[in-house]
Amino acid sequence: MGRGGSRPGSGRPGWKAKAEQSLPLDVRVMYRRGCLKLGFMGGGSWRWTWTGTGEDAGSISYWFDDHNLQLRFRANGESRTQDVPVVRTPCHFGKSRPWFRCPLCSRRVAVLYHRGGRFACRHCQRVAYLSQSEDVIGRAWRRQGKVERQLVEGFGRPKGMHTATYERLLAVIEECEEVKDASLFAFLRRHGLAL
């Protein structure tokens, strides 16, 4: 995977913090767990673990009333408290959907990221997704992997999949292979290594 930069086909520069490597606070997950239901007043705790290792990445405690989520956490060895407004948008059939209001820019967001000792939206925290820093080969690998997960082992057709769908997925895999080969050949040609 590339780190971005000025070379042809590169993604955005890789110097931004990555969302996948940050501690997210997702309003949708909290709502599904009953933490942000209308009329709920109470608190609890939240814990993150690193996906690859299962080690603790961090934890916070929170207190919620209908319009405000108060977060208590430790950052850089200090105890901190931060208030995050919770707003709601109406849904069909009389329910409502909660959103966080970014404490810095007041943007309505679903996810806040912890960085620099505070929680804020992705834009204020200057957080990018890993896919935004991928070069052409990285994007081709990611696309090919997504397609391969739909097939059975050895690029076989899963039971119940239409033949036309299966052939379309095989064409995507072939296209990804061609993109990777062309990028590798262009790299070798630029450096005088191509035959």
Domain ranges of the chain: 18-125, 130-190
Per residue in 44-78, pLDDT tens? 777 777 666 777 767 788 888 878 888 888 766 67
φ and ψ at 61, to 5 degrees? -115, 155
Query: Quick one: DSSP state of residue 156?
Result: B
Q: How much of the chain exceeds pLDDT 90, in percent?
A: 29
Read off the pLDDT of each residue in 92-97 and give the average, rounded to a whole number: 84
Neighbours of 139 (CB within 10 A): 19
CB of 191 within 8 A of CB of 144?
A: no
